[in-house]
Amino acid sequence: MAKYLFDANVDRMLTSTRAFVHTMRNATIAYSDIARRTTRYESRRGVVILNQRGRVVSTWRWSR
């Protein structure tokens, strides 16, 4: 598994893999944005936004 996830559009590091996996497994809040057709998952480590197909739109990690 890669150490970091990359956004293909921006070509920069977004978040660590551990924060991404933790957020998807332990999401405490999930918001659905009907207009953008995305779902936002939040945990104590970060945020992951997925589109309808389940592909990552954006991610970020909370600072410690």
- The confidence score (pLDDT) of residue 10 equals 40
Domain boundaries, the chain: 4-61
What's the average model confidence in pLDDT over 11-25? 69
Q: What is the pLDDT of residues 19-37, one digit of tens each?
A: 788 888 888 888 898 888 9
Looking at residue 45, its pLDDT comes to: 83
Q: Please report the pLDDT score of residue 3 as a whole number.
A: 42
E strand or H helix at 16, and its extent? strand 13-16
pLDDT at 63: 67
Q: How confident is the model at residue 60 (pLDDT cuts 50, 70, 90)?
A: confident
Q: Are 19 and 10 in contact (CB under 8 A)?
A: no
